[in-house]
Amino acid sequence: MAVLYERIGSAAVITIDRPETRNAVDWATAELLSRAWRRFDLDGEALVGILTGAHGTFSSGADLKAFDLVERPEGWLGFTRLHSAKPTIAAVEGHCVAGGLEMALWCDLRVAGAGAVFGCFERRHGVPLLDGGTQRLPRLVGLSRALDLIMTGREVHSGEALAIGLVDRVVPDGRALDTALELAGSIAGFPQETLRADRASVYEGLGRPLEEGLAAEARLGRAVLRYAEAGAARFVAESRQAG
């Protein structure tokens, strides 16, 4: 299978496994990615989704040799126009370029091996960014830096990626997935209802006036206040036990 779905603890690990193409995505792989992320959303035991690539490479993007991708409501690569209600992490080793970068940008967080390389390499081949890169990249690194990467197609190595906010953590090569799993375990250990409400509030407020963002925060926060009350009760009980 070109896409693997594996449950590890509270995480669902979705792995692109096409070594002969440096994990490039053709039509069949995009279909499998779409199914995998839908499976994650329906998997009640999977609290965090992790996207990674096998054989030391994240993904080189669209398979230009096959050149058989089609536009679908879910996105050309199978899932980049979907929305997950649960946290997601990209575990990046090696090349994460072109559509591979766009898939990583879809995730909430990115953990990169020290040797990881990022870039909008589709620029070099006259291919447009079609899986959210022109929208998500400026939101992460700012307008000027995004335009630099999009218009030049240059390589970005892990140190620069960390400095500009393209990735959140840089770890030794070969440790990206393990670190992502550790991070997923930490996230999964928190009360999920309020965590997801806060995450949703961040995304809903993006690009909106402050007043609208605050209104969204208030609405989503009120919906989970009962969980906050339960958390406060647990805190009081634990404090009494500790005392």
Which residues are annotated as catalytic? 102, 122
> For residues 145 and 80, is the Cβ–Cβ distance under 8 A?
no
Structure tokens at 115: 């040797």
Residue 194: partners with Cβ closer than 8 Å, 6 or more residues away:
224, 227, 228, 231
Q: What are phi and psi of 212, to 5 degrees?
A: -70, -40
Per-position DSSP letters for 14-64, written without gaps between them: EEE--GGGTS-B-HHHHHHHHHHHHHHHH-TT--EEEEEESTT--B--B-T
Sheet holding 95-97, edge to edge: 95-97, 117-119, 156-157
Q: Is 133 helix (H, G, I), strand (E, B) or coil?
A: helix
d(CA 156, CA 166): 9
